[in-house]
Structure 1
Amino acid sequence: MANQHGDFVWYELMTSDADAAQDFYSGLLGWNYAESGQDGVDYRMFSAGEAQIGGQLQLTPPMVEHGARPAWVGYIRVDDVPAALEKARASGATVLMEGNEVPGVGPFAMLHDPEGAFYYIIDDQSGEESHAFSTHEPKVGHCAWNELMAGDKAAEISFYSNQFGWSVAETMNMGPMGTYDMLKCGADRDFMFGGMMARPPAMPVSMWTFYFRVPDIHAAADYVKDRGGEILNGPMEVPGGDMCINAMDPQGAMFSIIGSPGDKQ
């Protein structure tokens, strides 16, 4: 199935210790790493089997001085980067970086939405289909869900729908936590790619989080704790029988995992 405007196609980790982060995530998610070959920058690509999932960027001192911190950021495919930037600016987004290009792929830019959640856009002209997000089948090491915690959920849904053609496919009542809106990209699609919910009062800013699949959620939780990460929430059950965890890696980047409960019920 070809990727289209509005699809998540790549996931990037910005980290303060590239070697330690590679060791942590390769053990947790089974990723294989390879150097990108870019001059003057430590950028490593990681794959689940034959499928490329994303890249890992070593933060440099100048990046840190300008406010960069360990974090995960997703890339959303667009048909035209300059047009997408113009539309985003007109809708209240802030462009943080533009005018760059991934060799052999195409132009990209980094933004934050009207509430400050970071994301990339990219015009992938390589002709290769991204399998970073698993659309139908559960695949270990792939992203299984993209989630935005927003201060004004209705406004954020309006923003992203206007930018990328997303629509609310289903809504789930979560009681005191409000509603959870599940999203589709394209009316002809038969899968949902993510959701939006109101961020809890303790969370100071809106942000995207990405759920990567593990084979056993409890074994993964033990791994995270044993390897210097921190469990922030979970394991908790989600619709469909899987369980998920929100966590922080040893360098301070927040991430999420999802998987089966394994032998522990």
Structure 2
Amino acid sequence: MVERTGYIDGEPCWADVVAADVPAARHFYEALFGWTYLDSGPEFGHYVMCLKNGRVVAGMSPPMPGSEQLPAAWSLYLMSHDLPGTALRIEEHGGKLLVPPMEIPDNGRMLFAMDPSGAAFGAWEPGRHTGSQLFDEDGALCWAEVNTREPTVTDYFYHGLFGYRQHRIGDDGPGAEGFDYSAWSLGDADPVAGRLTMTSAWDGVPAHWTVYFATDDTDAAAARVLAAGGRVQHGPFDSPHGRLAVIEDPNGAVFTLINR
């Protein structure tokens, strides 16, 4: 079991999902991952902490008042131990703050922003809550990547935000219709996130961050998705890094499963 007690700046550290039908979401993810739940109560808008083997791994909440018509989605949070500084760099590098730094009592501080290509993401400054307590384990966050049509602008933005080092994986240049993928690392460590250039196959899909959850068996997990009321958008299929399946939960939130 890979337990985590903290993350360095720029690492994906947390993900949460907004669900119009929270009971349906709870049933789905319990059937898929074996998650159990802890409701944080009315003072926190009934934000639900999702647990795997007793460790906190993700969050779930109903829509905020006034946002009920927005589509269901998973949101990714990047670690920041200096949230005001991160907010400043977001704006300096062409991003837009959607929710400025705000206190989550006793737990930490958060912001929510949009990068210059239109992909939304969050940043988290830890207090009592330090992020997912499991990583790269069955039912826990294991990878994240931003899908964009503006790779040069996106690379510049996130490099300025956290100083990622870029490692090209795709063979085709930015803007080509082939596979253009970069992995981002922090210092000399292993890559922590990726950037994919969207091609014409993504027509109609806005720029976004994708979250990956680990599974011990992608095919078996995909079968549980169908039985629990979700949908398999793509796959399962093999990749150089593991067997993947792109999943849509009963509320319409999309994420990727990987067995690596």
- Normalising by structure 1, we get a TM-score of 0.86
**Higher mean Cα deviation, 19-28 or 191-200?**
191-200
- CA–CA separation in structure 1 for the residues paired with 2:44 and 2:192: 35
1:108 equivalenced with 2:107 (yes/no): no
Give 1:115 shift: 1.3
Structure 1 residues 127 and 232: alpha-carbon distance in aligned structure 2, compared to 1, 3 A threshold: closer
**Higher mean Cα deviation, 73-82 or 95-104?**
95-104
- Aligned residue in 2 for 1:118: 120
- Aligned residue in 1 for 2:144: 146
Structure 1 residues 15 and 86: alpha-carbon distance in aligned structure 2, compared to 1, 3 A threshold: same
- Aligned residue in 2 for 1:27: 31
Tell me the secondary structure at the aligned position of residue 43 of structure 2: coil
Give 1:53 shift: 1.3
Q: Is the 8 A contact 2:34 2:52 kept in 1?
A: yes
- Aligned residue in 2 for 1:43: 47
Tell me the secondary structure at the aligned position of residue 22 of structure 1: helix
Higher relative contact order, chain-length normalized (CA < 8 Å, sep 6+): 2
Give 1:173 shift: 3.0
- Aligned residue in 2 for 1:171: 169
**Letter of the 2:194 counterpart:** G
Residue 61 of structure 2: which of 57, 62, 65 is its match? 57
Q: Deviations over 1:184-238 (max 9, x none)?
A: 1x2132x222211111322431111111012211111122223222222111112
Q: Is the 8 A contact 1:11 1:132 kept in 2?
A: no
- Aligned residue in 2 for 1:263: none
- CA–CA separation in structure 2 for the residues paired with 1:127 and 1:227: 30
- Aligned residue in 1 for 2:81: 79
**Letter of the 1:239 counterpart:** P
Gaps of 5+ in 1: 261-265
**Higher mean Cα deviation, 52-61 or 11-20?**
52-61
Alignment length (residue pairs)? 251
- CA–CA separation in structure 2 for the residues paired with 1:244 and 1:4: 27
Structure 1 residues 216 and 35: alpha-carbon distance in aligned structure 2, compared to 1, 3 A threshold: same
Q: Deviations over 1:95-130 (max 9, x none)?
A: 111242122222211111111111111211338574
Give identity over the alignment, percent: 25
- Normalising by structure 2, we get a TM-score of 0.88
**Letter of the 1:199 counterpart:** M
